[in-house]
Structure 1
Amino acid sequence: MSDSRIDASGVLVLGAGQLGMAVLRALAPRLQAAQSTATVLIAPNVLDAPSEDDAANLAELRGLGVEMVRGDLVSDERTLTRLFRDFRTVVNCTGFVGGPGTQLHISRAVLAAGVKRYFPWQFGVDYDVVGRGSGQPVFDEQYEVRKLLRGQSGTEWVIVSTGMFTSFLFEPAFDVVNLEKQTIHGLGSWETKVTVTTPEDVGKLTTEILLAEPRIIDEVVYVAGDTISYGDLAKVVERVTGRTFEKAEWSLHKLRSDLAAAPDDVMARYRAAFGLGDGMWWDKSKTYNARRGLRTVDVEEYLRARLQ
């Protein structure tokens, strides 16, 4: 039996939201083929009183043969530690919905449980480059999670750096591309770059990385659907839509001034952070998927599909 087969046994995915479902759609069939099973942690309220979307997800998970375990990630650390002890591998797909401190809380419980391998919620930017003080408090916490993991040797860890989700570029509240208002804003400058990946590609690539042989250990693995400047993004949007958009460059000075005027505005924090450039992008040609010839969806393909 290969190392990856052994490591695949006892995989717990935390969360069945957009990313958790994408991971499970890719991972569960692969584990079944290896005579193993994926398990997902589901919040009690989702199991007891599911919304229409929740019910659809739960039905899909049952169809995939995914086992479900009830648990609340805001439980005390000892409760989480007892829950995690039953699993060799934990893949954290919870996002930031749990509030400040949640990712450190989960990570400490994973380490205390003696989990053999951990994929933390680091599906985002390069927090080593960003460091502390980017203007986005959750980025500071992600940096602290990395310090925590590197300060121990009992649990192997793998960080999958994906950039932002591609769809976020087109989120009206983020206000980079607003398709309805036909506006495009370049954060920092038109030359500033950003790396983006769709959740579906993150799910597929995370599965490939988890099952890779030889096993990937204590490493930051970079993936990308696309790395694009805001100027090139504007060209793609206008080419695909066939429309002319109103364009404005938002300088770092403006972004920081906006944040100072509204320090609790989450989107102002994100715009100020992504306007920095450094740590928000990496060369797609050097990513895990590019080196292995694994196809991903770029911004143009994503937008064409969205507009169909």
Structure 2
Amino acid sequence: MLNNEAILVLGAGELGMAVLRNLARHARHASGVSIAVLLRPSAMGSDDPAKRKELGELRELGIEFVEGDLTRQSCADLATTFRRFDTVVTGFVGGPGVQLKIAQAALEAGIKRFFPWQFGVDYDLIGRGSAQDLFDEQLDVRDLLRAQTLTEWVIVSTGMFTSFLFEPSFGVVELATHTVNALGSLDNAVTVTTAEDIGVMTAEIVFGEPRVSNQVLHIAGDTVTYREVADTLERALGVRLERHVWTVPELKRLLAEAPDDTLRKYRVVFAQGRGVAWDKARTFNAQKGVPLCGIDGWVRDNLPRLRAAFPAP
């Protein structure tokens, strides 16, 4: 059991909140473990009712607020903030160079263990030069961490957030037209995990014994083909769905028409099918016997919303 450890989580977005809740749950059974969250000044002073509710929840959990801005602060400033913590868990922050800056600050601070923002696909397998150019920076972060021995690191590969698979803007599930658009092939697979389950497993890893360090771990709520996604929705909704395939050449052509479109970049990567899916039976959560939410469970939990979005033909 982890004891006498100061943990900092960077941000309190959807995933950050899930991580914080689960870390706090573990910390209740540990000795001398403190948890803090880095928040922008604007977030700490927000008048938004939802944000105020979240901040109130964090206070009730005994989580310390640390002021900072990952985008604007320099590497040296971030290192100063990180220095009093043993473990830093990174949240998502957009913008070229930000994740690399955070990793450099963590190493400069000399923290014991670092969880970079790698809660997604397997960047090693995808490799450099993919359609999503931001993935190259994720590989830069991995190279930086692997080239040193002072700070332990843990990378948690989770696949796509389950909810994103159903996000209208992503275009795989077109709720209004009763269509599932398969990326590359109906038999292409994708690994998905809910934000809540990522929080559960991240906390399990942080507090777990034997201590996890210098490893890439894979977790999965589910690994499904696009055909299985369509079948699952049909069973749950009682609605016949059209199945359409966006081929790799077609998606590349669409990306060429709008080369800065982030979603079109993602579609090409997932359509190519490399590094975006892994065997659920061989994951860290399977090894530990921790059940996570699969596609069937997610659809069942979100059935009212899905029914509302799938109007009768």
TM range (shorter): over 0.9
Q: Which moved more, 1:246-255 or 1:278-287?
A: 246-255
In 2, distance between residues paired with 1:273 and 1:139? 10
Alpha-carbon distance, 1:108 to partner? 0.5
Rounded Cα–Cα distance in structure 1 between residues aligned with 2:231 and 2:46 = 45
Deviation at 1:49, TM superposition (A): 2.9
2:26 maps to 30
Secondary structure at the counterpart of residue 177 of structure 2: coil
Match of 2:86 among 78, 88, 106: 88
Work out the CA distance in 1 between the residues paired with 2:137 and 2:233.
33
Pair 1:60-2:51 in alignment: no
* CA distances 1:64-94 after superposition (whole Å, capped 9, x unpaired): 111111111120111101000010000012x
For residue 87 of structure 1, give the secondary structure of its aligned residue in structure 2.
Answer: coil
Count matched residues: 302
Is 1:171 aligned with 2:167? Answer: yes
After TM superposition, give the deviation of residue 240 of structure 1 in Å. Answer: 1.2
Q: Which residue of 1 aligns with 2:48?
A: 51
Aligned-CA RMSD value? 1.1
CA deviation string 1:117-145 (max 9, x = no partner): 00110000000001111110221111111
Percent of aligned pairs sharing the same letter: 49
- Measure, in 1, the Cα distance between the counterparts of 2:153 and 2:50: 32
Q: For residues 207-250 of structure 1, what are the alpha-carbon distances to aligned partners after superposition, in whole Å with 9 as ceiling and x for unaligned?
A: 11111111011000110000001111111111111101222111
1:137-172 deviation per Cα after TM superposition (whole angstroms, max 9, x unaligned) = 221111111111101111000001100100011000
Residue 106 (structure 1) shift: 0.6
Query: 2:211 matched to 1:227?
Result: no
- Matching residue of 1:182: 178
- Out of 247, 252, 255, the position equivalent to 2:251 is 255
Match of 1:228, SS? strand
Q: What TM-score, normalized by structure 2, do the two folds share?
A: 0.94
Matches within 5 A, 1:191-270: 191-270=187-266
- Give the structure 2 partner of residue 104 of structure 1: 100
Q: Hey, what's the Cα distance between the residues in 1 that align with 2:177 and 2:196?
A: 27
How do 1:121-136 and structure 2 match up within 5 A? 121-136=117-132
| Structure 1 unmatched runs, 5+ | none
Task: After the TM superposition, list the runs of 4 or more consecutive aligned residues in structure 1 that deviate by more than 4 angstroms.
Answer: none
Are 2:79 and 1:76 equivalent residues in the alignment?
Answer: no
TM-superposition CA deviations, 1:244-291 (whole Å, max 9, x none) = 122211111111111111101111011011111110010000001111
| One-letter amino acid matched to 1:232 | E
**Structure 2 residues not aligned, in runs of 5+:** 305-313
- Separation (CA, whole Å) in 2 of partners of 1:67 and 1:161: 27
Q: Distance in 2 between matches of 1:123 and 1:104?
A: 15
Q: What is the identity, as a one-letter code, of the residue corresponding to 1:285?
A: A
Cα displacement (A) at 1:191: 1.1
Match of 1:147 among 143, 148, 152: 143
Once residues 101 and 291 of structure 2 are traced to their aligned partners in structure 1, the CA distance between those partners, rounded to angstroms, is: 35
Amino acid at match of 1:208: E
2:284 corresponds to which of 281, 285, 288: 288
Paired with 1:54 and 1:195, the residues of 2 have a C-alpha distance of 30
